[in-house]
């Protein structure tokens, strides 16, 4: 294993009825709170009223920014940063899924600088050294934004969707109450599961070093998602299923499984180009891409990793020839994503053609090479997109 620093300073309140701690946690940072949320699901599930009651009884002054979009836009971030400055906000409270939490992270950073928050993400790559404190209440298990230092923002004018990591963006406190995800639709539950699986596979498929201990952990996380996502879809109010998925979403991306791995991710940059142009759900894009990316990267050098995956995660017959085991692992993953979870299996089904593939592939590899599990150049990425048609 390579050397690494493990530092995840996010305080997590996990489980039901933990929101009673919300006021006391927010008050540690001040009294003026910017509450951020999306298109209204938090009102439909009664969470908005619960949060407001907690904030009022703690004597906090609340300002609100709603309407944060799935694939959150830079315009929402700009507005949030502006409000933080105007109202001298002390702490931001993000209530929602990854989109709300991601946008809130960049609002918190934007509040501390004079320049446009897009400069954090554009080619200017302005440093993110400071952000106002962020507290999150998670309502959808998927991205892990509740426990990681990253966020992804879209700019629809330039058709860009760009991610950025910075320790300052880590939430200080996150509330993970599985019952808040009971109302998540079967489709979003499936997309969330696909996203988590991808976060793990981006790390797991790695030929560089022996990560046995972490591989076992990752296989456990994958089996957890494979076991519980179908249960959550059939029985939305199954607490154990929602709880296992929620905790798996955080651990899939909070840095623990990396263990010094330096390899870059592959499917995510390729997917972000799909979301940037077609505004498709991130998890759906990943579900369509991942088995095709695996197929494309399978060869004599990489086959051993696929064999490990197929046997340990899906229990594939280990007596078959390695290439057959590897292919069966990919088939089982496809079967899970498209048949068990019911996600659409091709880009064609979601109305995407090859029109922008060359442009998207060039952007995904930043005009040179995507240094992931296998090094991919523009032509490779275009070929992967084509396998998805």
Residue 96 as a binder of ligand NZQ (CB under 6 A): the answer is: yes
| Residue 335: DSSP 8-state | I
By beta-carbon proximity to Zn ion, the closer residue of 25 and 195 is 195
Candidates 77, 140, 341, 360; binder of ligand NZQ (CB under 6 A) is: 140
Binds ligand NZQ by CB under 6 A, chosen from 79, 90, 102, 215: 102
Q: Are 369 and 349 in contact (CB under 8 A)?
A: no
- Given Zn ion, ligand NZQ, none, residue 39, with its beta carbon under 5 to 8 Å by kind, binds ligand NZQ
Among 23, 30, 150, 236, binds ligand NZQ (CB under 6 A): 150
Instruction: Give me the sign of the Cα torsion angle 281, 279, 138, 136.
Output: positive
The span from the CA of 311 to the CA of 17, in Å, is 39
What character string, x for contact with ligand NZQ (CB under 6 A) and - otherwise, covers 11-40? ---------------------------xxx
Choose the stretch contacting Zn ion; rule: CB under 5 A; options: 161-169, 194-202, 294-302, 316-324.
194-202
71 counts as binding ligand NZQ under rule CB under 6 A: yes
Of residues 316 and 364, the one with the C-beta less far from ligand NZQ: 364
Gap between the terminal Cα atoms of the chain: 38
Q: Given the complex with Zn ion, which of 102 and 195 has the nearer CB atom?
A: 195
- Distance between CA 180 and CA 126 in Å, rounded? 36
Task: Single out the residue of 69, 64, 63, 62 nearest to residue 38, CA to CA.
Answer: 69
Q: Does 180 bind ligand NZQ (CB under 6 A)?
A: yes
Applying CB under 5 A, does 195 fall inside the site for Zn ion?
A: yes
Q: Are 231 and 238 in contact (CB under 8 A)?
A: yes
Q: Which range touches ligand NZQ (CB under 6 A), out of 179-187, 207-215, 290-298, 377-385?
A: 179-187
Contact letters (x/-) for Zn ion, 147-186, by CB under 5 A?
----------------------------------------
Question: What distance in Å separates the CA atoms of residue 161 and residue 153, rounded to the nearest whole number?
Answer: 6
Of 62, 133, 47, 57, give the one whose Cα is nearest residue 97.
47
The contacts found for 291-295 with CB under 8 angstroms, 24 or more apart, are: 291/330, 291/333, 291/334, 291/337, 292/384, 292/387, 292/388, 293/266, 293/267, 293/384, 294/201, 294/205, 294/330, 294/333, 295/330, 295/387
274 makes contact, choosing from Zn ion, ligand NZQ, none, with CB < 5 to 8 Å by partner type, with none
Spatial distance between the Cα atoms of 182 and 21, rounded to a whole number of angstroms: 21
- C-alpha 141/C-alpha 184 separation (Å) is 9
Is residue 273 involved in binding Zn ion (CB under 5 A)? no
Q: Among Zn ion, ligand NZQ, none, what does residue 291 contact (CB within 5–8 Å per kind)?
A: none
Residues that bind ligand NZQ (rule: CB under 6 A) add up to a total of 35
Taking the least distance from each CB to ligand NZQ, the nearer of 142 and 298 is: 142
Q: ∠356-361-367 over CA atoms, to 5°?
A: 125
Question: Which residues here bind Zn ion, judged by CB under 5 A?
Answer: 195
Binding site for ligand NZQ (CB under 6 A): 38-41, 45, 70-72, 96-100, 102, 139-140, 142-145, 148, 150-152, 180-181, 183-184, 188, 192, 195, 253, 268, 282-283
């Amino acid at each position: 294993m390579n050397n690494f620093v493990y530092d995840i300073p996010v305080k997590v309140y996990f489980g039901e009825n933990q929101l009673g701690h919300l006021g006391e946690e927010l008050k540690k940072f001040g009294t003026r709170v910017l509450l951020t949320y999306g298109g209204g699901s938090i009102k439909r599930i009664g969470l908005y009223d619960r949060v407001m009651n907690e904030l009022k009884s703690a004597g906090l002054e609340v300002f609100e920014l709603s309407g944060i979009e799935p694939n959150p836009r830079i315009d929402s971030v700009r507005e949030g940063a502006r409000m933080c400055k105007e109202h001298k906000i002390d702490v931001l409270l993000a209530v929602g899924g990854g989109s709300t939490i991601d946008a809130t992270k960049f609002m918190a950073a934007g509040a501390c600088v004079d320049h446009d928050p897009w400069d954090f993400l554009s080619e200017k790559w302005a440093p993110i050294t400071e952000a106002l404190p962020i507290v999150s209440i998670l309502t959808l298990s998927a991205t892990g934004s509740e426990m990681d230092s990253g966020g992804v923002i879209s700019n629809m004018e330039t058709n860009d969707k760009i991610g950025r990591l910075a320790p300052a963006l880590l939430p200080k406190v996150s509330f993970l109450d599985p019952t808040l995800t009971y109302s998540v639709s079967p489709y979003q539950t499936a997309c969330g599961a696909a996203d988590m699986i991808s976060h793990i596979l981006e790390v797991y498929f790695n030929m560089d070093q022996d990560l046995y201990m972490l591989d076992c952990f990752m296989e456990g996380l994958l089996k957890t998602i494979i076991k519980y996502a179908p249960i959550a879809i059939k029985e939305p109010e199954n607490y154990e299923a929602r709880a296992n998925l929620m905790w798996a979403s955080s651990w899939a991306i909070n840095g623990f499984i990396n263990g010094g791995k330096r390899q870059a991710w592959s499917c995510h940059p390729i997917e972000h180009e799909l979301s940037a142009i077609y505004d498709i759900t991130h998890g759906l894009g990943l579900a369509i891409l991942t088995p095709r990316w695996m197929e494309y990267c399978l060869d004599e050098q990489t086959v051993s990793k696929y064999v490990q995956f197929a046997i340990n995660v899906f229990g594939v017959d280990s007596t078959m020839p390695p290439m057959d085991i590897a292919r069966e692992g990919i088939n089982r993953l496809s079967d899970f994503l498209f048949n068990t979870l019911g996600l659409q299996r091709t880009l064609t089904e979601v109305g995407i053609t090859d029109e922008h593939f060359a442009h998207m592939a060039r952007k995904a590899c930043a005009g040179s090479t995507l240094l992931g599990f296998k090094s991919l150049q523009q032509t490779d990425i275009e070929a992967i997109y084509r396998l998805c048609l």
